[in-house]
Amino acid sequence: MKTYLDCLPCMMNQALRTARIATNDYVKIKLVLDEVGAMIKDIPMHNTPVQSGSIVYRKIRELTGVVDPYKDIKRNSIREALALYPTLIEYMNDSDNKLLTAIRIAITGNVIDFGMNKYFDLEEDLKTILNQDFAIFDFKEFVNKLKKAKSVLYIGDNAGESVFDKILIQAIEKPVTYIVRGIPIINDVTMEDAIESSIGEIAELISSGSRAPGTILDFCNEDFVRRFNEADMIISKGQGNYEGLSNVSRSVFFLLKAKCKIIANDLGVKENDIILKGINQ
Give me the residue spans of the domains in the chain: 7-64, 71-279
Query: Contact 178/116 with Cβ under 8 angstroms?
Result: no
Largest CA distance in the chain: 56
Please state whether beta strands 234-237 and 274-279 pair in parallel, antiparallel, or not at all (unpaired). Answer: unpaired
pLDDT of residue 179: 98
> Which residues is 205 bridged to in the sheet?
178
**Residue 72 C-alpha from the chain's centroid:** 18
CATH number of 71-279: 3.40.50.10880
Query: Contact 3/214 with Cβ under 8 angstroms?
Result: no
Q: How far apart are CA 28 and CA 26, in angstroms?
A: 6
Query: Would you give per-residue pLDDT tens digits along the chain (281 residues)?
Result: 888 999 999 999 999 999 999 999 999 999 999 999 999 888 888 888 899 889 999 999 999 999 999 999 999 999 999 999 999 999 999 999 999 999 999 999 888 876 555 556 788 888 889 999 999 999 999 999 999 999 999 999 999 999 999 999 999 999 999 999 999 999 999 999 999 999 999 999 999 999 999 999 999 999 999 999 999 999 999 999 999 999 999 999 999 999 999 999 999 999 999 999 999 98
Query: Contact 67/182 with Cβ under 8 angstroms?
Result: no
Give the closest residue to 116 by CA, choosing from 243, 217, 23: 243
Q: List, in order, residues 6 or more apart from 180 with CB less than 8 Å away.
A: 156, 189, 190, 191, 193, 194, 205, 206, 207, 208
Q: How far apart are CA 65 and CA 48, in angstroms?
A: 26
Q: How far apart are CA 268 and CA 247, in angstroms?
A: 15
**Residue 1 C-alpha from the chain's centroid:** 15
CA distances from 235 to 36, 110, 228, 260 (A): 33, 13, 10, 21
The total of other beta-carbon atoms located within 10 Å of residue 266's CB is 17
Phi, psi for 169 (deg, rounded to 5): -60, -40
CB burial string 193-231: b at 16+ within 10 A, e below: bbebbebeeebebbbbbbbbbbbbeebbeeebeebbeeb
